[in-house]
């Protein structure tokens, strides 16, 4: 093919554009992170009064997590429920559906990254707040109790030649396979 014809073909779009060839479809993680970020920004815009991302604090993040709870699909038994503490209750009950701890934990991780990718300073990242970590830990512990699964802290590895199994002291809640949620 001559240079003239190739130039004509490129102008007419017969050849793939190099920039399109270099662009890749975003990963599932990146797509989910973008959707989560857009949902959070929309939540802030719908807030009364509206809040900009730069004015957002950990309190807005906590409010967002509580807002999302209404869309949860995980049954969390309340302390007064006859099935409280039973991993597999034998009958239905009226306890609320909540967001699972593992889902919230993953969401906060994605939003924490998205905040910084969208120009937020790491030093003021509301998703990295200690209050958010405390909230998630409380949700995790409460859900574990409601399901009857004991929560055990991971044992810290001792320095030196001591060996410890990575699964030792790890409950189902720590593996990220939770299916319940709680708010006080």
In a domain, 14, yes or no: no
In a domain, 105, yes or no: yes
Residues in Cβ contact with 169 at an 8 Å cutoff, skipping those fewer than 6 apart:
152, 153, 154, 155
Residues of the chain with pLDDT under 70: 1-22, 149-184
Residue ranges making up the domain that contains 143: 23-152
Q: Which pLDDT value is given to residue 150?
A: 62
In a domain, 73, yes or no: yes
In a domain, 90, yes or no: yes
Quick check: 170 and 151 in contact, CB under 8 A? no
In a domain, 93, yes or no: yes
Q: What is the pLDDT of residues 15-43, one digit of tens each?
A: 344 445 457 888 999 999 999 999 999 99
In a domain, 30, yes or no: yes
Structural domains counted in the chain? 1
In a domain, 179, yes or no: no
Average pLDDT, the chain: 78
Q: Which pLDDT value is given to residue 22?
A: 54
Q: Which pLDDT value is given to residue 160?
A: 52
């Amino acid at each position: 093919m001559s240079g003239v014809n190739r130039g004509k073909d490129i102008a007419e779009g017969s050849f793939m554009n190099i920039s399109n060839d270099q662009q890749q479809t975003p990963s599932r993680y990146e797509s989910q992170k973008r959707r989560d970020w857009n949902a959070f920004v929309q939540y802030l815009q719908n807030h009364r009064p509206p809040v900009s991302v730069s004015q957002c604090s950990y309190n807005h993040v906590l409010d967002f997590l509580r807002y999302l709870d209404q869309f949860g699909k995980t049954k969390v038994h309340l302390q007064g429920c006859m099935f409280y503490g039973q991993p597999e209750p034998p009958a239905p009950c009226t306890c609320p559906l909540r967001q699972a701890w593992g889902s919230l934990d993953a969401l906060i991780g994605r939003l924490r990254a998205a905040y910084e990718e969208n120009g937020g300073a790491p030093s003021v990242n509301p998703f990295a707040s200690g209050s958010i970590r405390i909230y998630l830990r409380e949700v995790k512990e409460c859900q574990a109790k409601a399901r009857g699964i004991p929560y055990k802290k991971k044992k810290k590895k001792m320095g030196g030649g001591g060996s410890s199994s990575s699964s030792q002291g790890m409950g189902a809640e720590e593996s990220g396979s939770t299916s319940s949620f709680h708010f006080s």
